[in-house]
Structure 1
């Protein structure tokens, strides 16, 4: 029995141990089999899907990107998407609803971009703090604002993903707890609403993983 609403995000509530964190690696079992003689439909779909992502991220990275850079962001997208979608299944822990996971994805990426930019493109990083056409009087304030907006980037990436996952799951749980107290007619309406919300959450799971990967790509292109 849940002590509070947020206990559904506790990995120890189902089995009495934090083994639910192992669900983070469940996506590896759904990856296509690359050693088949003939590719199956899932392999063809996955290859086409990653090709579209590669083209999209190549455009975002700009003309100066090097071959292979998009694989980092494609892997990031697939990892987050699998975790978000698996969290919608019954009795599967939603790892992407925890800041300990989302911040662990966002912070190292941001630090790597910052170290690379300041060590290799110092002038570009300094010029990026002052937008083109800024009056001389406003330059100190623009540097301060740009620095603050740059520092909070990993936090916004992590909080955005975790908050969206938590909000949808809490809504599903709140509506689901009202089922035993409803009549049969209202119960049918509730089930219909739950199915609609589950469909919406599936779309949110894919969209949020895409937003996370796209923002990481844009941050990389700036350095």
Structure 2
């Protein structure tokens, strides 16, 4: 989102070997502030809106691309026209998208965007391209600890043992993956697949950090527990 001249200036500062951690952090904040003020891509002239957490969905990120445009703007009217035409041809679209002007950024879309960032721009994010890239921050595979980390526990209530919480959560993730695969194979509705996908994202988040995720979603999960058929 930055002009090439400005990016070169920031690159020189980031490449300074004597740059301290605090100075690097401040410099990174400056880069982000400059990028946020850019409302249009300097290369393809595509509109750039606000990227934020969705107020309506759990663990969702949206791109409010046309936030700075008036409802009567020709660009907005054309987008809404295309959206309504798509709704007429496919009724499932209406149930999945609240507004034609709000774009939901799925993990796969974000992953592909991160992969397209050139290596020369990585230092502007405060990252070392030799050590990592932005796409490394998105998990595509889950680490599974060995059995010694998640042993079975003898039950005090009934005879036998209970599986560790991590093992139970892994079983649920595998179950949801299997359900998604069966729904895709059988040509399931898009709305149903979207619910399965959201449910999978939720359980992966719970697997990584139960406490923080529960504090964010409250009791919403209890209402979603019946969306995955057993």
TM-score w.r.t. the length of structure 2 is 0.25
Rg (Cα) greater in structure: 2
TM-score w.r.t. the length of structure 1 is 0.26
Larger strand proportion of the pair: 2
Q: Which has the higher contact order (CA 8 A, sep 6+)?
A: 1
